[in-house]
Amino acid sequence: MARQSKKTQTSTTQKAGTVEGKKIDDIKAEAIEKQQFPDPVALSQALLNAYQQSQPLFVEMVEQYNQDIKQQAQLAAQQIPTPPVDSSESTIDLLKSMATDPLKYWSMQLGYAQKQVDLLQRSIKKFSGEEAEPIITPDKGDRRFRAPEWDESALFDFIKQYYLLASEHVQQTIDSAHDLPKEKKDELAFTARLVTDALSPSNFLMTNPEVLNETIRTGGENLVNGMKNLSKDLHRGKGMLKISMTDRNAFTLGENIATTKGGVIYENDLIQLIQYSPTTEKVHKTPLLIVPPWINKYYILDLRAENSFIKWAVDQGHTVFCISWVNPDKKLAKKSFEDYMREGVLEALDRVQEITGEKSCNAVGYCLGGTLLATTLAYLKAKKQDKRVTSATFLTTLVDFEQAGELKMFMGTSQMRTVQRVMAEQGVFPGHEMQQTFNLLRANDLIWSFVINNYLMGKEPFPFDLLYWNDDATNMPAVMHSFYLQNMYCDNLLAQPGGISMGTEEIDISKIKTPCYFLSTKEDHIAPWKATYQTTQLVGGPKQFTLAASGHIAGVVNPPAKKKYCYWVAKDTPQDPESWLESAKEHEGSWWPHWNKWMGEYKGEKIKARKVIDALEPAPGRYVKMTSESASEPQKES
């Protein structure tokens, strides 16, 4: 702030309410503008306006909430959210560790206190108009503090740095507990991040300069609109907050999303099988079957024409078939993991052979679909039918779940008990619970950014195809999901020879000799690349491991035309993933053309294009339009 010099005499006559010829109000305004402080008078008026306008909205919201809760009263299990992570035991162990070496933690506390003193001193300098280097800055990818006020305003810069120092100190305290197992430290770090993310100053009206400025600019209208958005989201979740991530009315399946032309050529209780119409006069002889995850919907690979992997594969001359999984309800509660193999992948292989006349096809499995594909390959090997699959591509797929990342922290004893109770009562694990789990892994991006945009800034969410898909949750049948969580995530039995059985056949991944292409992504928080890499050490036969930049979705859905990101490839697959990375060569752009080139001989010769004949209905079909709330109702909202 500008300093006032102390003079007993001035060359300018001082009038009442002025200093050196300037009105005091003007000086205050200059200080507010210079330091990026919100005008307190304007802010007070805006908050008063918001309060007055929001009163009837608040009453209406409470009445609607009470009605929604009454409707949910008969579904008690849905009202008890699954606890995210139970870190109580790890917290006790951390306190014990701190007690064994109190001097170390006292020294850390003194260091933290000194940084706070340094921050206060530098902030005072900045308040005085002097330059002051920051004590700490946000990480490069942290988008919470992008507004210039976080740096230009001495007040908000102090709030930001104070928060970052506190968050850093918490993390350093956990890291310094060297006698704690890595699993417990990871659990504590994740829990601490959830708490510190929630307490970020960007999430609160009075400590977010962008929100304060918007409140003044709109006279509080943003807060009124925010309450309207909050009320709609509470109603949409039937009393539970279901944050809107995108404008759901902007998309309609089959019209402007999941639009690749084709037809449903087969269906049973679990799947609809889609065959896509050719776009080339000739196609490769060997067809391509895509096995997507059923933990969400297949059209992540067919969002829009310009970023659709399915359409791109069709354009490259592949005859593409894709499984569209049903969104199950309680009637399918007893469907097992083995049912998903038999009625899903194996049935699809039969239908592809029947339609094309080819005894073998290339297969692509994505995430959980890849886990099922690996299980199917091992089963076919045991049945001496492994030639039915010419090559297998695994996109961000876990087979060895030993280092499965942050998702394993949701598999604690108390969480598993809650999951089992919910599934026993409802017959399925509700899609919204699974969605919330994934959102917690990236809380700042998938929760708090929308809290700020929707409720504090009062804006409507932006129409975004990827977030529309992310919000389109699917249920999990109780028997299948229980088997998957226990045998894969908890016990890691799929990676062990004979660890699980499908029917009478023991599953041994090491017996797989099918040529395999593995695609992992470097920033994947769901299937960490070093964990997915381990599958290269389990299977035999020719194999290619490729690492793409970005994460679980963006690294996979990266069309060549975008010219984004990069990928790494290496000739060999040594035991250590870091050794692989050291030898890998970086290439610009999408991995899609590299994969298509690798397919080479597995694609077969060119033949006349196969048309879709006798389709039951046009793609994308009915199953993909079923919601997790009601498997019989279409997705479009009124």
Per-residue pLDDT band for 435 (boundaries 50, 70, 90) equals confident
CB within 8 Å of 575: residues ≥ 6 apart: 537
The percentage of the chain sitting over the pLDDT mark of 70, rounded to a whole number, equals 90
pLDDT of residue 90: 84
pLDDT of residue 635: 44
pLDDT of residue 537: 97
pLDDT of residue 634: 43
Q: Is the pLDDT of residue 14 over 60?
A: no
In sequence order, the β-bridge partners of residue 394 are 365, 518
280-to-10, 304, 316, 487 alpha-carbon distances in Å: 87, 19, 8, 43
Structure tokens at 340: 């998903």
- Compute and round to an integer the Cα radius of gyration of the chain: 29
CA distance 7 to 4: 9
Q: Is the pLDDT of residue 79 over 60?
A: no
Q: What is the pLDDT of residues 277-304, one digit of tens each?
A: 999 999 999 999 999 999 999 999 999 9
54 phi and psi angles, rounded to 5 deg: -85, -15
Q: Which of 322, 361, 367, 516 is catalytic?
A: 367
Q: Is the pLDDT of residue 174 over 70?
A: yes
Q: Is the pLDDT of residue 175 over 50?
A: yes
pLDDT of residue 356: 97
Structure tokens at 81: 């959210």
pLDDT of residue 313: 98
For 120, the enclosing helix (H) or strand (E) is helix 102-127
Nearest alpha-carbon partner for 416 in 408, 425, 426: 408
For tokens 């490839």, name the residue. 569
Cβ neighbours, 10 Å, residue 279: 14
Q: What is the pLDDT of residues 263-279, one digit of tens each?
A: 999 999 999 999 999 99
- The highest-confidence range among 16-20, 76-80, 301-305, by mean pLDDT, is 301-305
pLDDT of residue 22: 44
CB within 8 Å of 136: residues ≥ 6 apart: 115, 161, 164, 165, 168
In sequence order, the β-bridge partners of residue 290 are 322, 364
Q: Is the pLDDT of residue 513 over 80?
A: yes
Torsion (CA) 304, 308, 313, 315 in degrees, nearest 10: 30
* pLDDT, mean of residues 531-560: 96
DSSP 3-state of 348: helix
pLDDT of residue 484: 96
Per-residue pLDDT band for 237 (boundaries 50, 70, 90) equals confident
- The string of DSSP codes covering 458-503 is -PPPPP-HHHHHHTS---EEHHHHHHHIIIIIIT--TTSTTSSEET
Indicate the residue type of 581.
L
* pLDDT, mean of residues 29-51: 74
582 phi and psi angles, rounded to 5 deg: -65, -35
CA distance 61 to 67: 10
pLDDT of residue 73: 56
For 445, the enclosing helix (H) or strand (E) is none
pLDDT of residue 542: 96
pLDDT of residue 71: 67
pLDDT of residue 565: 96
pLDDT of residue 630: 63
pLDDT of residue 88: 79
325 versus 130: which is more confidently predicted?
Answer: 325
345 versus 180: which is more confidently predicted?
Answer: 345
For tokens 């994460």, name the residue. 551
Per-residue pLDDT band for 57 (boundaries 50, 70, 90) equals confident
362 phi and psi angles, rounded to 5 deg: -85, 145
pLDDT of residue 11: 38
pLDDT averaged over every residue in the chain: 89
Per-residue pLDDT band for 65 (boundaries 50, 70, 90) equals confident
Q: What is the pLDDT of residues 447-473, one digit of tens each?
A: 999 999 999 999 999 999 999 999 999
Indicate the residue type of 219.
G
* pLDDT, mean of residues 564-588: 96
Strand 361-366 relative to strand 389-395, pairing = parallel
Is 566 catalytic? The answer is: no
How many residues are recorded in the chain? 638
* pLDDT, mean of residues 523-527: 94
pLDDT of residue 76: 45
Three-class DSSP labels, 395-442: ECCCCCCCCCHHHHHHCCHHHHHHHHHHHHHHCEECHHHHHHHHHHHC
Nearest alpha-carbon partner for 224 in 64, 49, 60, 62: 49
Domains delineated in the chain: 29-242 (no CATH), 262-406+465-625 (3.40.50.1820)
Strand 566-569 relative to strand 361-366, pairing = unpaired
- The highest-confidence range among 176-185, 407-416, 549-558, by mean pLDDT, is 549-558
Q: What is the pLDDT of residues 579-619, one digit of tens each?
A: 999 999 999 999 999 999 999 989 999 999 999 999 999 99
- The highest-confidence range among 12-26, 132-146, 339-353, 438-452, by mean pLDDT, is 339-353
